[in-house]
Amino acid sequence: MPYHEFECSKVIPERREHAVIKGKGEDLTSCLPKGYLNTIPGTISERGCAYCGAKHVIGTPMKDVIHISHGPVGCTYDTWQTKRYISDNDNFQLKYTFATDVKEKHIVFGAEKLLKQNIIEAFKAFPGTKRMTIYQTCATALIGDDANAIAEEVMEELPDVDIFVCNSPGFGGPSQSGGHHKINIAWINQKVGTLEPEITSDYVINYVGEYNIQGDQEVMLDFFKRMGIQVLSTFTGNGSYDDLRGMHRAHLNVLECARSAEYICDELRDRYGIPRLDIDGFGFKALGDSLRKIGLFFGIEDRAEKIIAEETAKWQPQLDWYKERLKGKRICLWPGGSKLWHWAHAIQEEMGVKVVSVYTKFGHQGDMEKGVSRCGEGALAIDDPNELEGLEALEMLKPHCIFTGKRPGEMAKKVNVPYLNAHAYHNGPWKGFEGWVRFARDIYNAIYSPIHELSLIDISKDEIQSDHSFLTRRMLSDKELPEEIKASTELSEYTGNYDVIAGLRNKTYPEFPRTSANMPKDAA
């Protein structure tokens, strides 16, 4: 077993099985770190809690809902919507966050009255919003407040409102992933099937596991609309509460982010017979194959091929411009969960970089299986690392860039490793063909920013060169490139706009006549 022991964790022998280095000929029967176990008592972890997973990750990208935390205000602050999951209804869910502000006296005497008062106040303050999600927290779960009963009371008093209760207190699982599970199952138990949606197309999907980071969902929605596909709901980025109540009427569940949302997808398959198709919106090949697969399922593959041809012709030369300049750069791919496998192979193939390490803070072993499979030999895979292990890994691997969250990102900057925000992005969206070029552009900008030339100098004592002026990123990146690449007129830097989302919202789409004969021709 190729376990990797960190020097800094030698005093915690249990940690030894949470990191592996993939060796020659290793496969998943010999090379897989432990994962998604209870955090080892006494060690430091960067994980979020189950409440955070339910509210911050899954619930709050729902756009037309008052999201209220029943607990101390600090819980809400810590899950304030910082992931930039924007919406097309003026970002209601980003502008406001609600909490019942539970204090010590409520812990002693109960906080149910406080909850009811807060719910009614919130609906009065925002009379245009008739939907609410209540998130239980550790404090109010421990004192036994019955949020469901209060929600029922309010719905009787205010018949035009609908409330969803999510019982996922922080202690409800080893990490935020426990909260993902709970909110998925709670939603399908409480809400799916309670509203009949209007069906407008022969081809109807739920888009599951998409959180609209910087507009990712709207980019993908554009492709689906161009194919004449009705997206009944998106679970949950830019998703509407009532649309998500009608998920049971889709013909196909298109799943992007196992395993934060595969539970609802699998339950929809089990309970309603809606099949699940796994897709990927990152990378030209993976995205193209995803559109083809959906096209094949509905018998409209020609529509997918048209989009792929148009987009590839436009964006491939720009992706290749960056690929030429990123070849061989070492990357640490340290997101919280799914992106380690979404990106691991695609960035190596299509951007020429080498992934030297993957990690996950809350991912299951299933996430690591995909990540380890998609990395090459020598890659270090770490489950639930602490800060010292992260630092030690960076010193060992010496990456040119790291894709991670804010906390490890700031740590990496201190050891002169530029970082890209893998959770909220830098200048996304990164999905879609154009988005993939924007991602490459952001990696390029991170690696070749001239700021790194100065960042390790101690200005109080180190010599600062004054015999040359400021270097540009192009001077750094093109230094060793062949002349024909530097002079190429075919390849070019990214030419898109800063805001690529606004234009999509008013776009008109072709109308396809409806037909009931949508079985694929190749099938018998």
The contact set with another protein (CB under 8 A) reads 27-30, 32, 34, 36, 188-194, 248, 251-252, 258-259, 262-263, 266-267, 269-278, 280, 285-286, 289, 292-293, 296-297, 345, 364-366, 369-370, 373-374, 519-520, 522-524
Nearest CB to another protein, comparing residues 258 and 412: 258
Please give the torsion angle defined by the CA atoms of residues 7, 11, 17 and 21, in that order, rounded to the nearest 10 degrees: 0
Q: Is 272 helix (H, G, I), strand (E, B) or coil?
A: helix
Nearest distance from residue 285's CB to another protein, in Å? 7
The phi and psi torsions of 134 (rounded to 5 degrees) equal -105, 125
Nearest distance from residue 509's CB to another protein, in Å? 24
Is residue 61 within 8 Å of residue 211, measured between CB atoms? yes
Nearest CB to another protein, comparing residues 46 and 301: 301
Nearest distance from residue 167's CB to another protein, in Å? 16
Interatomic CA distance for residues 45 and 303, integer angstroms: 47
Nearest CB to another protein, comparing residues 193 and 496: 193
Nearest CB to another protein, comparing residues 164 and 211: 164
Sign of CA dihedral 263, 338, 305, 502: positive
Supply 372's token pair: 């380890």
Nearest distance from residue 278's CB to another protein, in Å? 4
329 phi-psi bin (left φ>0, alpha ψ -120 to 50, beta other): beta
Nearest distance from residue 275's CB to another protein, in Å? 4
Nearest CB to another protein, comparing residues 269 and 473: 269
Q: What is the DSSP letter of 490?
A: S
Interatomic CA distance for residues 18 and 384, integer angstroms: 8
Question: If DSSP states are collapsed to H, E and C, what string results for 26-66?
Answer: CCCCCCCCCCCCCCCCCCCCCCCCHHHHHHHHHHCCCCCCE
Nearest CB to another protein, comparing residues 249 and 441: 249
Nearest distance from residue 67's CB to another protein, in Å? 21
Interatomic CA distance for residues 357 and 436, integer angstroms: 21
Nearest distance from residue 25's CB to another protein, in Å? 10
Nearest CB to another protein, comparing residues 71 and 246: 246
Is residue 17 within 8 Å of residue 33, measured between CB atoms? yes
